[in-house]
Structure 1
Amino acid sequence: MTAATLAAAPGLEPRRFSAALPALLLLAITVASGSALQGVFSTVQEAAKADLHLTDTQLGLVQGLATSIPLAVLSVPLGLLVDRVHRIRILIVMAIGWVIGSALTAYTHSFALLFVARMLAGLGASTAVTVAISLAADMCPPAQRGRSMLILTLGKWLGTAAAFALGGWLFGRFGTSPFAGLAPWRGVHLALAIGAGAAILTLLALREPPRAERSSVEPLPIKAVFSRLWSMRGFLAPLFGGQVGVVMADAAAAIWAAPVLSREFGLTPDQFAGWMGLVIFGSGVTGSILGGVAADWGVRGGKQGGILIGAVIASAIAIPATLFPIAPSPVLFGVALSVLLTGGTITGLITATAITVTVPNDMRGLCVGLFLAVSGLVAFGVSPTLVTAVSTMLGGEAYLGTALAAVGLLVSVLACWCFIVAKMRTPIG
C-alpha cells in the first residue's frame, strides 16, 4: 500500500495507547540513552576541567555552542526528512552519532577535540526528539497523545537522572578501579558509550507506523509547508518563546548544578550523584504524569487554549524555584531544583502535545525541527555562556551560583508571559 493510500484511507487510525505501549517504551529507551550520554559530561565536568585545564567560559562553549551550532544547521532539514522518509532509520543514525561522540569524549586531549565530541553526542540526542515525537504521535489518537508524550518524557528524564546517578557512581568506582586504564571521568563516558551501543539493538524491533492526519494525500511542496506554518505564527511564536525560556532555565541548571554543588558545598560527584539522580528522575516522573494528564484534559475540554492551561500554571510555579543555586543548604538546593525541573517537564510535554494536535502530520516534523533550531541557538547556545558572562561581570567564577539564579529568574518570567499569550491564541482547545 502506498503512502498516498495510507494518507487517504479513513480506517487506518492510530493504535490506542495500550496497543502502542511496547513501541513507545522502546522509543523511551532510545531517548533515555541519548539523554544520558548528552548529560553525563555535566556530572563530571569539574574533573574534566582540571584534567584538560579548561576555564568556565570554555566549559560553557562545550556545553552550549557545541550543541546549538549543529542543531541550528540541521534541525530544519531533519524535520523535512522526518515528514517524508523512513523515521526508524533516521533514529538509528542519530543513536550511532551519540555513541561515537561519547566514546570520542573519553579519549580527547584538547579543547577542540572535546568540542567536536560533544557536538556529536549532543546532536544525536537532541535531534532524535524530532523523530521520536513524530513516531509517537502516529502511534496514538489525538486524545491520547499526552500519554504518549508522557512515555517519551519519562525516557528523557530517566536518561538525565542516569547521567547523574549512574555517572557519579561510576566516577567513584573508577577512581579506585580505573576502567580501560582511563581517568575516572573518561572511563564514565566510555562505559556509557558501550552500554548505549548495545541499546541501539532495541531499535531493530520498532516498525514504522502509518502516517495519520496528513493535510493532503500527496506530500506538500516545501514552499507550501513553510507558508502554512507561517500562517500559524501568531500561536507558534509565543509557544516557542515560552518553551525556549523554560529550556534556557533548565539547560543552565543541568549544566551548572554540579559545579555549584562542588564549589559552594564542597561535594564531589560520587557524593551528590545518588540524591541528585533521585531529584531529577522524581521531577521527571511527577512532571510527566501531571503534564500528560493536563494535556489530555486540555484537549478533551475543548476550551480556547485549554491545552496550555497547565503550561501557564507550571511555568509560574517554577519562577521562584530558579533561585535554587543560592540556597543555603544542599537540601533546599535539591527541593528548589526539583520544583524547577518538574515545571519544565510539564511545559515541555504540553508544548509537544500542543504541536501534535494543532499541526498537520506532514508539517509536524518541520515544526519540531524549527523549534529545536531556535531552542538550540538560544537555550543551549546562549544560556550556558550567558551564565558565565554574568558571573564574570559580578566578579568571577566564585559568583557562578548567583549568575545562574539571575539568568534563570529572568528567562522564566518571560516564559510564563509567552505561554499566557500562546494560550489566548491557540487555534483549538
Structure 2
Amino acid sequence: MNHVPAAPAPRLSAISRLRAWASVAILLVAAIISFIDRQLLSLLIDPIKHDLKVSDFQMGLLVGPAFALFHALAGIPCGWLADRAGRGKVVAGGIALWSALTAASGFAASYPQLFLARMGVGVGEATLGPSAHSLIADSFDAKRLPLAMAVYSTGVALGAGLAFAFGAQAVSLVGHLPDSLPLVGTLRDWQLAFVLVGLPGLPVALLVLLVVREPRAAGGQAQGAAIFAGLAPLWRGNRRLILCYLAAISALTGSGYASHTWLPAHFIRNFGWTPQQAGLMLGAMLMAAGVAGALAAGAAGALLARRGVLDAPLRVIIAASLLHAPFTAAVTLVGAEPFAVLLMAPATFLSSAFVALGPAAVQAATPVALRGRVAAIVLMVTSLAGMVAGPVGVGALTSFVFGDDKAVGLGLAIVAGLLSLIGGVLLLAALAPYRAAILRLRTAPD
C-alpha cells in the first residue's frame, strides 16, 4: 500500500525486546477476554431461543449484525485514536466498556434489549484491533512481525476455545446456583452466565494500563487533524489490492464465524450432546489445533520473510484457505460422530492462518502514520461482512431453505466451505499488487 505523504511518519522510540513481548502478552490476554465475551453467545443459542421465543434467523442477527454493526461504526474513530493517542489507554477503556456490557447482557429481559447490549459490546471491542495491530507493528521489524502478530492472534483461538470450554462450565455452574442471588435478583441460567463471564475483564483493563508501553516517541503520534487524512491517496494507488484483500478476508472471516457460531448447535441437535459436552470438545480443539495452526502460520511466514519473500503472509494464507475448504465442509457432512470430531482437527488448524497473518500482511504494507486507521478499516469491513455472511447465512439456510433445525450442519458445510474457497482464490489475485505495494513503501523517501 503506497507511501502517503499527508502527515509526517510518527517517530518510533527504541524499546527493549522484552518490553515489546510483554506488550504482546498482555494484548493477547485482552484478545482472549474479547473473544470469550464475543463467543459465549453461541453456546447459549437454544436457551435464549426458548426463553425469548425467537428463530434461528433472529439468533443469526444477534450473533452477527447486532455485534458487527456498531463494531464497524466505531472502528474508524478507534483507529484514529490509535494513530493519535496512547494506545494502552484506548485499549484499557475499551476492555472496561465491553466487559461491563457483557455483564449487562445478563440483565436483558427481551430480544431488543439483548440486541442493544451486544451492539455496545461491539463498540468496546472495536478499540482493541486497531491499537494492538499498529502497536505490535511499531514494536517489531519486518522479519519478526509475522511471528509476533501470530502470537497475539492466538488470542482468537484461545478466547473462542475458553469461551466454549469454560463458558460451558459457567452454564453448568449457574444451573446449580439459587434462582435468586443478592444484588442480582432472579436471572435465568443464560443471563447469569453473561454476568459471570463479563466481570473478569475489568481487572484486565487495569493490567493493560500498567504493562503496555507506547513505542511511538513522545509527541510522535500522527498529527493530521482530519480523521480520513492520507487515506484517499492510499486508495488511489492500491484499488485492486484493497478490494481483493477486503473481499478475501471477509469471506474467510465469514467461514470462521459460521463455524464458531453453529458447530455447537450441530453437535447438540444431531448427536445429542449437551452444551457442556459441545463446549469442552470444541474449546479443547480450538485451544490445541487453533493455537498450533496460528503459531505454525506465523513461523512459516517469518521463515519466508527471512528468505526475502515479499508476499510471505499471503502465500501462507492462500495455501491454508484452499486446503481448509474441503475439511470444514466435511466436518458437518459426515454422519458418524467420531469422524466429525476427527476432521475438526485439520479444519481448525488450517482456519487459523488468516487470523494469524492477515494483520501482519496489512501492517507491513501500510505507512506508519496510517496503521491504526487502516487496521480499523480492514477490521470494520471484514468483521461486518464476515459476521453477516457467516452466521446469518447459515441461519437463513436452516430457517428458510431447509426448514429443519437439524439441517444446520448442511447449511454450515455450504457456507463455511464456499467462503473459505472464495477467500483463497481472491488472495491469489492480490499477490502481484501486494508485492508492488511493499516495494513502493520500502523505496519511498521518509
TM-score of the aligned structures, taking structure 1 as reference length: 0.91
Give the Å deviation of 1:241: 2.0
Unaligned runs of 5+ in 2: 1-6, 440-446
1:216 and 1:301 map into 2 onto residues whose CA distance is: 32
Please list the CA deviations of residues 42-101 of structure 1 after superposition, one character each: whole Å capped at 9, or x if unmatched: 112211211222211110110011022112322122222211222112112211221122
Aligned counterpart in structure 2 of residue 352 of structure 1, from 345, 356, 359: 359
- Structure 2 counterparts to residues 6-405 of structure 1, below 5 A: 7-8=10-11, 12-13=13-14, 15-16=16-17, 18-178=18-178, 180=181, 181-211=186-216, 219=224, 222-323=228-329, 324-391=331-398, 392-405=400-413
1:201 and 1:89 map into 2 onto residues whose CA distance is: 9
**Helix, strand or coil at the partner of 1:108:** coil
1:413 paired with 2:418, answer: no
2:353 and 2:391 map into 1 onto residues whose CA distance is: 22
1:204 and 1:328 map into 2 onto residues whose CA distance is: 49
2:310 and 2:144 map into 1 onto residues whose CA distance is: 19
1:306 and 1:216 map into 2 onto residues whose CA distance is: 29
**Helix, strand or coil at the partner of 1:211:** coil
Give the Å deviation of 1:200: 2.0
Q: Which amino acid aligns with 2:198?
A: A
2:407 and 2:48 map into 1 onto residues whose CA distance is: 20
Please list the CA deviations of residues 282-338 of structure 1 after superposition, one character each: whole Å capped at 9, or x if unmatched: 122112211211221232222352332211110111011222222323333233333
2:222 and 2:279 map into 1 onto residues whose CA distance is: 51
Q: Which amino acid aligns with 2:390?
A: S
1:67–1:376 contact (8 Å) kept in structure 2: no
1:239–1:351 contact (8 Å) kept in structure 2: no
Greater helix proportion: 1
Please list the CA deviations of residues 341-371 of structure 1 after superposition, one character each: whole Å capped at 9, or x if unmatched: 3222112221111112111111111111111
1:411 and 1:420 map into 2 onto residues whose CA distance is: 15
1:304–1:423 contact (8 Å) kept in structure 2: no
Identity %: 23
Unaligned runs of 5+ in 1: none
Give the Å deviation of 1:131: 1.4
Q: Which amino acid aligns with 2:122?
A: G
Give the Å deviation of 1:33: 0.8
The alignment's C-alpha RMSD in Å is 2.5
Closer/same/farther in 2, CA of residues 5 and 77 from structure 1, 3 Å limit:
closer
Greater Cα shift, 234-243 or 252-261: 234-243
Greater Cα shift, 220-229 or 363-372: 220-229
1:147–1:293 contact (8 Å) kept in structure 2: yes
2:8 and 2:242 map into 1 onto residues whose CA distance is: 30
The size of the alignment, in residue pairs, is: 422
Q: Which amino acid aligns with 1:341?
A: T
Q: Which amino acid aligns with 1:406?
A: I
Give the Å deviation of 1:32: 0.8
2:87–2:214 contact (8 Å) kept in structure 1: no
Give the Å deviation of 1:219: 4.3
Greater Cα shift, 331-340 or 142-151: 331-340
2:254–2:390 contact (8 Å) kept in structure 1: yes
1:332 and 1:191 map into 2 onto residues whose CA distance is: 34
Please list the CA deviations of residues 368-411 of structure 1 after superposition, one character each: whole Å capped at 9, or x if unmatched: 11112211331112322221222221234332211111111221
2:89–2:209 contact (8 Å) kept in structure 1: no
1:101 and 1:400 map into 2 onto residues whose CA distance is: 29
Closer/same/farther in 2, CA of residues 425 and 301 from structure 1, 3 Å limit:
farther
Q: Which amino acid aligns with 2:416?
A: G
Greater Cα shift, 170-179 or 418-427: 170-179
**Helix, strand or coil at the partner of 1:76:** helix
